[in-house]
């Protein structure tokens, strides 16, 4: 019998949204848990020293302290084949989807608090730039276990599962999310029209801060929110 590893309050407060755990079979087409990366106690303590803002989210792409961790070096080898990586964090109190991004590389997340990720496979994108929010699947990322998001899988900032917010380490190829040398024309009908930063393609919801900054508003349907 399957054991439900999603906190009960999330299921009760969000009955319209089926929430799976990253340990569930359903997660396999989006990513995997990463085993045998060494001691996770040091990363847990180190990440817990990073700040959570009073409101909204903060993203730091590269944190020198996190990048020295043995777990990060092991993930660099096991997941990224020893190419240079950056390890930073996304912490916050966000609870609204707002946007979706994808990379042409894996992304590894490690949370100390638990968080929700909304995910979609690349085949859900149509006309290169559009996606229905109803095609997203919600996953609870359990604390203290690294998860690898597959290349091309759409995701965005984690969503909180408790009032005090979330902490999440983010490991990506070095240089990801740096500014482009030249911004593409957003009216292009091909994939380049949603290239937003290096190794980052972005689609946003029309009711989002990203839309106000000029990102392409190609998410159709409701702007999903997580209630706690």
pLDDT at site 2: 66
The pair of three-digit structure tokens given for residue 17, joined into one six-digit string: 């949204």
Distance in angstroms (rounded) separating the CA atoms of residues 198 and 19: 31
CATH top-level class of 8-220: mainly beta
Number of residues that this document lists for the chain: 228
Per-residue pLDDT reduced to its tens digit, 49-90: 999 999 999 999 999 999 999 999 999 999 999 999 999 999
pLDDT above 70 for 116? yes
Task: Give the C-alpha separation, 160 to 52, whole Å.
Answer: 11
Beta bridge partners of 83: none
For 84-111, the pLDDT digits (tens) are 999 999 999 999 999 999 999 999 999 9
Q: Residue 4's CB: how many other CB atoms inside 10 A?
A: 13
pTM of the shown model: 0.96
The 3-state DSSP composition of the chain as helix, strand, coil percent (nearest 5) reads 20, 30, 50
In this prediction, residue 187 has a pLDDT band, given cuts at 50, 70 and 90, of confident
Do residues 155 and 118 lie in contact, with contact meaning Cβ atoms separated by under 8 Å?
yes
Q: State the sign of the Cα–Cα–Cα–Cα dihedral 55, 142, 68, 197.
A: negative
């Amino acid at each position: 019998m399957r054991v439900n590893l999603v906190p009960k309050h999330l299921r009760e407060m969000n009955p319209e949204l089926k929430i799976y755990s990253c340990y569930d079979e359903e997660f396999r087409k989006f990513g995997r848990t990463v085993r045998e990366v060494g001691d996770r106690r040091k990363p847990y303590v180190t990440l817990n020293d990073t700040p959570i803002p009073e409101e909204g989210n903060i993203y730091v792409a590269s944190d020198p302290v996190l990048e020295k961790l043995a777990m990060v070096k092991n993930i660099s080898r096991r997941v990224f084949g020893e190419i240079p990586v950056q390890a930073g964090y996304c912490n916050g109190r966000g609870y609204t989807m707002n946007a979706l991004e994808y990379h042409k590389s894996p992304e590894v997340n490690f949370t100390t608090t638990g968080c929700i990720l909304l995910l979609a496979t690349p085949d859900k994108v149509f006309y290169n730039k559009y996606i229905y929010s109803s095609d997203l699947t919600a996953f609870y990322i359990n604390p203290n276990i690294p998860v690898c998001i597959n290349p091309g899988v759409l995701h965005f900032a984690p969503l909180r599962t408790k009032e005090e917010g979330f902490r999440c380490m983010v490991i990506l190829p070095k240089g990801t999310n740096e500014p482009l040398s030249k911004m593409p024309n957003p009216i292009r009908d091909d994939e380049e029209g949603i290239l937003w930063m290096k190794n980052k393609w972005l689609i946003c919801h029309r009711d989002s801060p990203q839309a106000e900054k000029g990102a392409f508003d190609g998410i159709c349907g409701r702007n999903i929110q997580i209630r706690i």
